[in-house]
Chain A
């Protein structure tokens, strides 16, 4: 969709200032773009490339490495149903099929109203609570198909204000004043680390 908006550009500059090399801000800025649009748009990647002074191809290379950066629009709620072994044994696949039928989409698809995107995922580290799923990476545990329907109804009716729209990283953003930051030093300005220097043969 779009480049970073002015408020986010200001934020981007603040984020960049946290690092000795601009390029290090690449992933935080991808998150920022995903927070803004719900996904990482091509224009946003180009904009980030300008901000951190790399080529758009390098931004794409990094962005596409991470599954959780979506490069195409997704629904407001991203539902990830676990089908890995523990959940599978406890009915994860049935849950996924139910979700498919209820929402009328296949994994990877988005409902016509743009509210839900469904994905099947590997273990999401909640095996003791199987079968489980995530909505925008917030866990829901031990779901029956009825629980799933209730969850969807709640999401539709806006009762789940605890789950922000897809892409939102956190509700609180830290602003560290410049004088409180840990010393930001360019790696080229660092000397040889002590542990390494001790292993170097002495100069003759």
Chain B
């Protein structure tokens, strides 16, 4: 055996492994200790991120704790002092051989047509530890070949070895126990309840951890064989959690993304969005050529030099009359170059967010928390913002583990119950517009309800926040129909109560934190102000960096008016969107999986983005586009390679001091940006009118599956988009005199829309919720520029 050197800890537990005296950590699981010490024990059911259950018996080894050697499953044993372990004894070998023969009894051995063949633990262990032959001549168990258990996952029960990994994952990690062992004895199978599919946002993880080919992913089925795949490590960029992934391709097409275990970030888990969104990279209707308009206003394909010249000209006008929106999609290097270009041109109307975020001062003006800090046992987390299950699903899994298993105490200060609500110790479901008042009332105490929150809940929150435990606030945009100032003011009120709190930014857009760090942030006002200036004629050129304001800015009327008013629109994007359709110059960019770069997550943690396939047509990396447009605009950014760009960044950006951007690959956790921020956030004042008599306050928030550009272009995901509806608390339905499913009109003085109505027990009374960017309808039409939106719901027709 090869025992690697480990620094012995003071509390080391001495034990003997295959005749060598070694030390385990106090309380260490035997199989983990062996892994750490370089001795491999075969296994199926054990997974380091889940509770051991001892289902498969593959890990039997001979253990002597003073009563003579006996076979025991090593995944269920804690190393005890002077334990003698033999993983190579005759008895161990025979036991493992026997377990495999039994496991293979009902297994169909259809490896040649199985996705898992070639990377299958059952196959590998059968070769390494198995008998090679079966004495079983009877009929095997038969089941209908793969049955869909969700939109994305197929289950082949014949292949299943009943290891309980998928069912354990669904229950203890995802909290969606929608698959379960059904029947018993020889008939035991994994299954769902009839007509209740395994529709978990995290279903794809079960495919990754299934040790056989029983669970397969619809998007990957029969697309490639493991030996055809090549892969690189990268970072999921659909949201700002920055989950670590391995990106795999075959024949220059992205075919699979797997979660990589990073202690600091995602623990190996991914949401289905992070896992399958790579399909969009491969979509047919990617932008492939630079386009400008001809004399008739039709798009014509141009050479890059010509398109760059057109873009350069647009950027060379009066700097005050140019607005730049977007940049959160870009890798850090491209963000840096665009920021330098805009700086050289004196352009200050810049915003990487699209009016659906928050003041970037919540990142730069407050002590920054890591995920680790938020999830550290003993702490208190305040959820001030959107439901992380919908917006930051990988982060949600970490938080869920923290509150469900590690005793982290959660206070919800949200407009409705979130995916973590059942674990919350205090639930402050504040009426939209009142979060700041509610936060202030935590410290002052209240005798009556504030913003719809009981005094008792306020008291519970006050006790938790006053307990002296470290407090982390996850801050995001809870409601797109509410002014972002409400959330910032609430954060400020929390800070008055707990001066040493730290902030974990919940701004959700991919690399938005990189954009903020590189300076793609507004000097004064953000996207809404840029669009307003355009409507007023103070801005006539818009530059869109991977942004689609026509579909993404909550105040849709404003976006429409701005596009109608400006004379020039330059768009750098990967897809044809509602905004590129209105552009004058379109520059096609390489998408995720096609470019190297760097990602900065919501903690300020850096990790690599890697190129695995080539970009379609003439599409180019964003950093090249930035450099060439700069050259065309008469600005020399002095870079010709990605390496030179990184060298400039290291030299010029303080937060990158001491970080080698070329060395991020292979680092599971990734370095944090240097420097800490003192509290400098000032509380904005917002005055919110009282709800009018008929009114329900509008809540517009996101669901994981929406009509976003990427989801829309991923064939396996597009049909999952939420269907438009308005939901209210069950009591409100009765009060309105309508039944669930009825079509109602939701509106206010400036317009109304018709939608089916639903009851939702997670909503407080007084709130009407419409999902943002839902299938077939856009909530943006209801959002104006007031601090909150009140609507009335009326029955349609007779």
A-to-B contact residues, CB < 8 Å: 42, 45-46, 54-61, 64-65
Closest Cβ–Cβ distance, residue B735 to chain A (whole Å): 23
How would residues 178 to 220 of chain B score, 1 for a CB under 8 Å from any chain A CB and 0 otherwise? 1111111000000111101000000000000000000000000
Between-chain CB contacts (< 8 Å), 13 pairs = A42-B193, A54-B177, A55-B177, A55-B178, A56-B193, A57-B177, A57-B191, A57-B192, A59-B193, A60-B180, A61-B180, A65-B183, A65-B184
Chain B residues, CB < 8 A from A45: 193
Assess whether B182 is in contact with A61, with CB atoms less than 8 Å apart.
Answer: yes
Assess whether A57 is in contact with B183, with CB atoms less than 8 Å apart.
Answer: no
Chain A residues, CB < 8 A from B181: 61
Assess whether A60 is in contact with B177, with CB atoms less than 8 Å apart.
Answer: no
Closest Cβ–Cβ distance, residue A47 to chain B (whole Å): 12
Assess whether A42 is in contact with B182, with CB atoms less than 8 Å apart.
Answer: no
Of chain A, the residue at the smallest CB distance from B194 is: A42
Of chain A, the residue at the smallest CB distance from B170 is: A57
B-to-A contact residues, CB < 8 Å: 176-184, 191-194, 196
Chain B residues, CB < 8 A from A64: 182-184
Closest Cβ–Cβ distance, residue B570 to chain A (whole Å): 50
Q: CA separation between A190 and B181, bound complex, in Å?
A: 30
Q: CA separation between A56 and B194, bound complex, in Å?
A: 9
Which of A56, A61, A65 is close to B196, meaning CB atoms less than 8 Å apart? Answer: A56
Chain A residues, CB < 8 A from B177: 54-55, 57-58
Q: CA separation between A46 and B192, bound complex, in Å?
A: 12
Of all A-B residue pairs in the complex, the 10 with the closest CB atoms, nearest first, are: A61-B180, A56-B193, A57-B180, A57-B193, A64-B183, A64-B182, A65-B184, A60-B193, A57-B178, A55-B177
Most interface-central of A46, A60, A61, A65 (chain B CB within 10 A):
A61
Assess whether A55 is in contact with B182, with CB atoms less than 8 Å apart.
Answer: no
Of chain B, the residue at the smallest CB distance from A56 is: B193
Q: CA separation between A65 and B184, bound complex, in Å?
A: 5
Chain A residues, CB < 8 A from B196: 46, 55-57
Chain B residues, CB < 8 A from A42: 193-194
Chain A residues, CB < 8 A from B193: 42, 45-46, 55-57, 59-60
Chain B residues, CB < 8 A from A58: 177, 180
Of chain A, the residue at the smallest CB distance from B193 is: A56
Q: CA separation between A60 and B180, bound complex, in Å?
A: 8
Q: CA separation between A43 and B193, bound complex, in Å?
A: 11
Chain B residues, CB < 8 A from A55: 176-178, 180, 193, 196
Assess whether B178 is in contact with A60, with CB atoms less than 8 Å apart.
Answer: no
Q: CA separation between A42 and B196, bound complex, in Å?
A: 11
Q: CA separation between A65 and B185, bound complex, in Å?
A: 9
Q: CA separation between A60 and B183, bound complex, in Å?
A: 9
Of chain B, the residue at the smallest CB distance from A49 is: B193
Chain A residues, CB < 8 A from B183: 64-65
Q: CA separation between A60 and B193, bound complex, in Å?
A: 7
Closest Cβ–Cβ distance, residue A48 to chain B (whole Å): 11
Chain A residues, CB < 8 A from B178: 55, 57
Closest Cβ–Cβ distance, residue B155 to chain A (whole Å): 13
Q: CA separation between A58 and B176, bound complex, in Å?
A: 10
Q: CA separation between A60 and B178, bound complex, in Å?
A: 10
Q: CA separation between A29 and B756, bound complex, in Å?
A: 35
Chain A residues, CB < 8 A from B179: 57
Q: CA separation between A65 and B187, bound complex, in Å?
A: 10
Chain B residues, CB < 8 A from A61: 180-182
Q: CA separation between A57 and B360, bound complex, in Å?
A: 44
Q: CA separation between A45 and B182, bound complex, in Å?
A: 13
Of chain A, the residue at the smallest CB distance from B183 is: A64
Closest Cβ–Cβ distance, residue A187 to chain B (whole Å): 16
Q: CA separation between A55 and B182, bound complex, in Å?
A: 13
Q: CA separation between A111 and B179, bound complex, in Å?
A: 35
Q: CA separation between A59 and B191, bound complex, in Å?
A: 12
Closest Cβ–Cβ distance, residue A203 to chain B (whole Å): 14
Closest Cβ–Cβ distance, residue B316 to chain A (whole Å): 60
Of chain B, the residue at the smallest CB distance from A61 is: B180
Of chain A, the residue at the smallest CB distance from B196 is: A56
Q: Known contacts A57-B191, A59-B193, A64-B183; can you find 10 more A-B pairs with CB under 8 A?
A: A46-B196, A54-B177, A55-B176, A56-B193, A57-B177, A57-B178, A57-B192, A60-B182, A61-B180, A61-B182
Q: CA separation between A65 and B181, bound complex, in Å?
A: 9
Most interface-central of A42, A46, A54, A64 (chain B CB within 10 A):
A64
Of chain A, the residue at the smallest CB distance from B195 is: A42
Chain A residues, CB < 8 A from B176: 55
Q: CA separation between A177 and B767, bound complex, in Å?
A: 40
Q: CA separation between A131 and B577, bound complex, in Å?
A: 78
Most interface-central of A45, A59, A60, A65 (chain B CB within 10 A):
A60
Closest Cβ–Cβ distance, residue A131 to chain B (whole Å): 25
Chain A residues, CB < 8 A from B194: 42
Of chain B, the residue at the smallest CB distance from A42 is: B194
Closest Cβ–Cβ distance, residue B169 to chain A (whole Å): 14
Chain A residues, CB < 8 A from B184: 64-65
Q: CA separation between A142 and B366, bound complex, in Å?
A: 84
Chain A residues, CB < 8 A from B180: 55, 57-58, 60-61
Of chain B, the residue at the smallest CB distance from A63 is: B182
Chain B residues, CB < 8 A from A46: 193, 196
Of chain A, the residue at the smallest CB distance from B198 is: A57
Q: CA separation between A28 and B324, bound complex, in Å?
A: 64
Closest Cβ–Cβ distance, residue A29 to chain B (whole Å): 16
Chain B residues, CB < 8 A from A56: 193, 196
Closest Cβ–Cβ distance, residue B670 to chain A (whole Å): 36
Q: CA separation between A46 and B193, bound complex, in Å?
A: 9
Closest Cβ–Cβ distance, residue B382 to chain A (whole Å): 23
Q: CA separation between A57 and B176, bound complex, in Å?
A: 10
Q: CA separation between A64 and B185, bound complex, in Å?
A: 11
Closest Cβ–Cβ distance, residue A22 to chain B (whole Å): 12
Q: CA separation between A54 and B170, bound complex, in Å?
A: 13
Of chain B, the residue at the smallest CB distance from A65 is: B184
Closest Cβ–Cβ distance, residue B289 to chain A (whole Å): 50
Of chain B, the residue at the smallest CB distance from A66 is: B184
Chain B residues, CB < 8 A from A54: 177
Most interface-central of B178, B193, B194 (chain A CB within 10 A):
B193
Chain A residues, CB < 8 A from B191: 57, 60
Closest Cβ–Cβ distance, residue A147 to chain B (whole Å): 33
Closest Cβ–Cβ distance, residue B551 to chain A (whole Å): 35
Chain B residues, CB < 8 A from A57: 177-180, 191-193, 196
Closest Cβ–Cβ distance, residue A68 to chain B (whole Å): 12
